[in-house]
Chains A and B, each alone.
Chain A
Amino acid sequence: MAETTLAASAGYDTEHHTGEHATATGISNTKLGMWVFLGSECMLFGGLISTYLLYKDRVPEGGISPRDIYDIYFTSASSFVLLMSSLTMVLALAAVQRADYSRLKLWLFTTALLGSTFIAGQIYEFTAFTREGLGFTTNIFGSAFYTLTGFHGVHVTIGIVMLLSVLILAIRGKITVEKAETVEIVGLYWHFVDIVWILIFTIIYLIP
């Protein structure tokens, strides 16, 4: 019996504790850890976004500035793609919770695909801008723009790798209803990255 007590007390067996003593949140460690980590990411993007805001209008006379270069239609389309990937992520989670594994795989794949489309769009956008004369070192706006959107792009890419890993697991039958939380945690990260993009899109492209 001692074993149970010990196992329970180490905190992951939260069900036994919640309500009774309130010494744990009832959320698993891994999920809580992800939430905490995302809190920190807010400050990371906060710093980068502030830098961008400070610098976007400081291009010396004659230099390339945001208004010269943004293609609002293109970026709106790719932002829409990324937003839709959040929807498919939700569908993936719903599927695994229903034990509908074929849908799970379908939606995971779609999410990864939409994410990759977004990244492809970003690569296209970067090359187009470079061709138009805005390089990373061209001016202060270029440095700020590429750093901010680049950081976000790296986050999306990491998310895609995570999605594909879960997809492989799902194909090998390792993701079952009991493990729906795996999908949920990847989803947390994915939605976070999406929300950050909504912010960036609004701030960079929409607000003049």
Chain B
Amino acid sequence: MAITEERPLALPSGDPARPSEPHLGVFRRPTTTTGWRSWLTTVDHKKIGIMYGASALFFLVVGGVEALLIRLQLAAPNGTLLSADTYNQVFTMHGTTMIFLVVMPIGAAFANYLIPLQIGARDVAFPRINAFSFWCLLGGGILLNSSWFLGGAPDGGWFNYAPNSGVVFSPSHGIDFWNMGLIITGISSLSGAVNLITTVINMRAPGMTLMKVPVFTWMALVTQFLLLFAIPVLTVAQVLLAMDRLYDANFFNVSAGADPLLWQHLFWIFGHPEVYLMIMPAFGIVSETVPVFSRKPIFGYPFMVFSGIAIGFMGFGVWAHHMFASGIGPLSVAAFSLSTMFIAVPTGVKILNWIATMWGGRLTFNTPMLFSVGLITMFTIGGLSGVTHAVAPADTQQTDTYYIVAHFHYVLFGGAFFGFMSGFYFWWPKAFGYKLGEGLGKFNFWTMLLGFNLTFGPMHILGLQGMSRRVYTYDENYGFDFWNLVATIGAFIIALSVLSFIINIFVSKKRAASLPPVGPDPWDARGLEWMIQSPAPEHNFDQTPTVAHLDEFWHRKYAEGDDGRVRRVATGDEVAQPGDGTGVHLPSPSYWPMVAAFSLPLIGWGLIFNLYLAIFGGVLLVVALWGWAIEPPDDIDGVHHDHHDADPSGDVEATGDIEATGDASADAGKADVTAEAATDAAAVPEEAPVG
């Protein structure tokens, strides 16, 4: 698991003392910044964020089709659309896709796009690792989904309990694909976490102390810490399972003395932090939109921050509430039951704070706000049913029924996904320069709310009636017919709603051509990301802002008059930076992150089917890492947005240069990048003039 290092972004170019450098490696250094090829090689956090979002929407459609198949099968008793075996594969892939390829990546999309903008940074700490993270995600997703065509998809449920997921009970290769695919997406999450944590901790604009960091960035930071500590546990579990399945190890071989609870513990030590790291970014989004559309600052900012941190910590102490029926003993049950009830407290704090923010505010119910209110209400329902499972005796009745399915869809769909939709509508103008239409937007919201509640509301009833989850059909006289039919109708309304969102993207783009540009600040918003033009210029900020307040941008637009009333002193357009950054050096694009990332699925397929392929993938990985290492992050022949005229700043610049290099040499932190430091050293004269 190589974590590589990246040099800082700004390097001098055109320095006459600097020896010109040959093109290294197999590829010519990519230089395009437009066209499809620029997307393959980009290291720009904004483009990477957009790619995360786009691939997540693609997988949303895939996972959505799987969901519709499930609902069609269950629409009426004794359904025959899917066989029991196919049904297992479909629900396993539905859950896995939605969690690992939709919700987590959308969280990553927002984090990537917004964190540097919200903290006033040029980019993330390690831009090429950032590209690597995205391509790993895509590679892992492709590997996982290729199972459909290569002998059958995984069929053990998204938590793939061992030993049920061993070769004996699941002889197809499906679960091997699940292991390999998710180990690769895990590498993606892990490298992303290292990157973003470093970015937030080390690269905030001057003046932005931790208690002035926007709530979204805070929640995204907590998310990254959860990933950092939770993902390796899943990786361990998957490695053990892969060893069992591919190399006959005995980790889950019960006849050899293995403990079937081992998997459950490892999985849920990962799994519960996982559910919180899926909701956290959405909590962050809502904490940004609600103040803007209530025209009030967030209520109780420190409570928001600390409850987020508390959830992060407590999230690691409740995992066994998923195992109340597994026979973990009365003491454990009591302890985990209590800790689970306690974790609802910081969650409740957040809900109260959003309501208090709206209380007495001047509310605007446009689409982003509607989706935010949707999150607050729907998540509350899911949180409440969560507390009912925290009561262990009740949970033994609920567990593995549709009641649980209802719970986690209310928190994940009604919570996380509604929040993401709110974020899409809110930041769309910043990313793409046009607003999504309100008409279709409202249709999008109301159909989603209706469809969602029709689909998942009845599942509470079905669950309490005793309908087990993961059964592929049911009999007529069980009394499940009506609500299942309602749920299926609801699911198609959701599909219509998602379709209207996609249509909205295109229709609004077309309409935007005849509308005036949205400008930097279409919502009269509060954070630094609105202080730059829309769509965000490639270099982010012309000049790094100095921050004096939480909601810095708002404070530059409004001030308190003599009479104690807050008045507007400037418009967003006046305060925003013009977007003509001169003298900005950006890291150059590179092919290597993608090549390195795509070698991983080759290794995955190779381990499943043919060792030679794995060896080829391994060699490719090594080559890619070396290519990456000896390629300087900044192409000295490349295009820069700068004017290198002979002003004294040339000298000053060289100072930054030395520091930059000193920092960069630290890159040898991992073997694969050591050579990079070598090239640095060669490229930058040791004796550069100090200004």
Contacting A33 at CB < 8 Å: which of B194, B664, B681? Answer: B194
Are B125's CB and A7's CB within 8 A? no
Q: Which of B251-259, B297-305, B376-384, B419-427 contacts A (4 or more CB under 8 A)?
A: B251-259
Question: Distance (Å) between the CB of A142 and the closest chain B CB?
Answer: 8
Q: A178-205: contact bitstring with B at CB < 8 Å (1 yes, 0 no)?
A: 1101101110110000000000000000
Q: A41-80: contact bitstring with B at CB < 8 Å (1 yes, 0 no)?
A: 1011011100100110011100000000000000000000
B123 CB contacts on chain A under 8 angstroms: 10
Are A10's CB and B8's CB within 8 A? yes
Q: In the complex, A11→B8 CA distance in Å?
A: 8
Residues of A in contact (CB 8 Å), total 74
A172 within 8 Å of B by Cβ?
yes
B78 within 8 Å of A by Cβ?
no
Q: In the complex, A153→B501 CA distance in Å?
A: 51
A144 CB contacts on chain B under 8 angstroms: 251
Are B652's CB and A1's CB within 8 A? yes
Q: In the complex, A54→B266 CA distance in Å?
A: 12
Q: Between A and B, how many residue pairs show CB distances below 8 Å?
A: 261
Contacting A139 at CB < 8 Å: which of B190, B257, B670? Answer: B257
Contacting A143 at CB < 8 Å: which of B8, B207, B250? Answer: B250
Given A11-B121, A147-B239, A186-B669, answer yes or no on A4-B653 (Cβ-Cβ < 8 Å): yes
A103 CB contacts on chain B under 8 angstroms: none
Main secondary structure of the interface of A (DSSP, over half): helix
B584 CB contacts on chain A under 8 angstroms: 6
A136 within 8 Å of B by Cβ?
yes
Q: In the complex, A5→B539 CA distance in Å?
A: 14
Residue of A nearest to B659 (CB): A13
Given A3-B649, A10-B203, answer yes or no on A29-B125 (Cβ-Cβ < 8 Å): yes
Q: In the complex, A51→B162 CA distance in Å?
A: 14
Q: In the complex, A25→B204 CA distance in Å?
A: 10
Contacting B10 at CB < 8 Å: which of A1, A6, A15, A17? Answer: A6
Are B122's CB and A10's CB within 8 A? yes
Contacting A176 at CB < 8 Å: which of B195, B201, B237, B686? Answer: B686
Are B240's CB and A36's CB within 8 A? no
Are B677's CB and A21's CB within 8 A? no
Are A36's CB and B228's CB within 8 A? yes
B559 within 8 Å of A by Cβ?
no
B195 CB contacts on chain A under 8 angstroms: 33
Considering only residues 1-40 of chain A, those with a C-beta below 8 Å from chain B are 1-15, 17, 20-25, 27-34, 36-37, 39-40
Q: In the complex, A54→B667 CA distance in Å?
A: 38
Q: B218-251: contact bitstring with A at CB < 8 Å (1 yes, 0 no)?
A: 0000000000111111011101100100011111
Are B235's CB and A8's CB within 8 A? no
Given A5-B543, A11-B202, A17-B206, answer yes or no on A36-B194 (Cβ-Cβ < 8 Å): yes
Question: Distance (Å) between the CB of A135 and the closest chain B CB?
Answer: 10
Are B121's CB and A10's CB within 8 A? yes
B581 CB contacts on chain A under 8 angstroms: 6
Are B655's CB and A4's CB within 8 A? yes
B634 within 8 Å of A by Cβ?
no
Q: In the complex, A109→B384 CA distance in Å?
A: 61
B352 CB contacts on chain A under 8 angstroms: none
Are A47's CB and B231's CB within 8 A? no
Are A172's CB and B251's CB within 8 A? no
Residue among A21, A23, A39, A166 with the most chain B CB within 10 A?
Answer: A23
Are B671's CB and A162's CB within 8 A? yes
Given A3-B652, A14-B202, A40-B229, answer yes or no on A165-B10 (Cβ-Cβ < 8 Å): no
Question: Distance (Å) between the CB of B116 and the closest chain A CB?
Answer: 10
Q: In the complex, A51→B202 CA distance in Å?
A: 36
B396 within 8 Å of A by Cβ?
no
Q: In the complex, A48→B231 CA distance in Å?
A: 14
Question: Distance (Å) between the CB of A196 and the closest chain B CB?
Answer: 13
Residue of A nearest to B679 (CB): A174
B532 within 8 Å of A by Cβ?
no
Report the 3 A-B pairs with minimum CB-CB distance, sorted nearest first. Answer: A9-B544, A11-B203, A47-B236
| Additional A-B contact list (6), CB under 8 Å, known A6-B584, A162-B668, A179-B665 | A1-B652, A9-B544, A36-B197, A47-B232, A47-B236, A158-B671
